[in-house]
Structures are given as structure tokens and as C-alpha cells.
Amino acid sequence: MRFFKSVAIAVMVAWAGVSAAQEKQDWADLAHYAENNKVVSQLPASERRVVFFGNSITELWTKFHPNFFASHKYIPRGISGQTSYHYMVRIRPDVIDLHPEYVVLGAPTNDIAENAYPYDENVTMENFSLLVTMLKANGIKVIMTSALPADRFPWNPEIKNVAEKVISLNKRLKALARKEHCYWVDYYPSLVTETGGAFRPELTGDGVHPSRPGYDIMESVIQKFLTKILK
């Protein structure tokens, strides 16, 4: 298994390099943070200790609450619509090459939404296992986080049993965190309705993404954790 992971990692790194060179075919949107990565890589280590890496949940977070990142000197690296497949291409330029101490790894909810490929939970988990292996191999401590509650995807209403798939994915992500000795932060219980697995309506606008009050809760969860470990 280690041999296959090593080969896969080598392929992903090479793929990232090729994609960067082929700007017109920038499937993973490596250009999104390319210029800012140059700036961040020159910052003192104390100002790039934590990178938040993920999809629209992370990207919109910076729009709703930019001061959360600026005041704590956290580096946001979220791109809307991305899946674990995009993450594998993007992980080196947007995280590893910045040499942070920690990465807050956003869950691949868009895999369930089938934004890139038909959903296969086993493949998604293998992708995440590879991401964790790459990060740990580069001395970065991994903080895995849960997928947020959802019972539908407005942009892809054909996806069924969304709430059950989110619950199942979270169980496996938590198990992976335990197996790989990663940190685990669970947003899900604070955001979910009492029944049905939906996002609490007062904390979201579309049933998938947090609103400002939703991000307030997420910040209270993650900041309590980060304050403890960053000491």
C-alpha cells in the first residue's frame, strides 16, 4: 500500500507542475492564489502558522468574516466548488510550499454533490488519505474537520440521501483522523437540526453554506481548539 501511495503522490506532484505550466487548462485553479502564495511564502513563520484549506465553505468565510483570518494571521485557501480531486492537485502550491505548522483541512462535501465525478465514498476517502500522507510527510500537522450538515444541494437536486451520505463521510473522516494521529474538529453537532440531518435554517441561506451566524459558531469551535494547540 505504501508503494502505491508513493507512486500516486509522485503522479499528483507532477500533475500539479504540469497544470501550473498550462494556464489555459488550469482545472484546479492553481492561478487563484499563485500571486498571494509568493507573498505569504516570504512572511515570517509566525505569520503563516495556520492555513485553512478547502472549498466554498472556506472561501465564503473570508468574505463574511475577513477579520477572523487577518486578526489571527490565518492563511485562507478556499476555492468554491472544489472537490477532493482538486485538493490533490492544489495541496502542494497552496499549503505545502507555504510551510505552515498546521493545516485546517476542509471536508470534501462537493464530492457528495458530484461537482467533479460520480460520488464514491471509498475513492473520496482514499483521496483524503493521500492528502494526509503528503501533509505529514512534509512536517505539517493536520487538523481534519467534519463536513457541515446538508440534506440537499440546490445546484444538483438529483443527488439523493444527502444527509445520510454526510453522516457516513464524517464517520470515516473521524476514523481516518484517529488512524493517522491527526487532530479532529467537529462542526456538525453545533449546526445540524435536531432531526433530519439538515443545516439549522437560522444558520444558513441555502441549506449548505453557513450564513454569518453559522460562521460565528464555526469560529467559536475552531478558535477554541486553535488557541489551545497554538500555545
Q: Are 25 and 19 in contact (CB under 8 A)?
A: yes
Q: What is the pLDDT of residue 20?
A: 41
Evaluate if residue 55 carries a pLDDT over 80. Answer: yes
Is residue 7 very low, low, confident or very high in pLDDT (cuts 50, 70, 90)?
A: very low
For residues 125 and 173, give the distance between their C-alpha atoms in angstroms, rounded to a whole number.
7
Q: Which residue has the cell 453557513?
A: 210
Average model confidence (pLDDT) for the chain? 92
For residues 192 and 151, give the distance between their C-alpha atoms in angstroms, rounded to a whole number.
10
Share of the chain above pLDDT 70, in %: 90
CA atoms within 13 A on the CB side of 94: 25
Q: In sequence order, what are the residues at sequence separation of 6 or more whose Cβ sits closer than 8 angstroms to the Cβ of residue 10?
A: none
The one-letter amino acid at 173: L
Cα angle 52, 54, 55; round to 5: 135
What pTM value is reported for the model?
0.89
Q: Are 190 and 221 in contact (CB under 8 A)?
A: yes
Average of pLDDT values for 200-226?
Answer: 98
In this predicted model, what pLDDT tens digit does every residue of 72-94 receive, in sequence order? Answer: 999 999 999 999 999 999 999 99
Comparing 196 with 179, the larger pLDDT belongs to 179
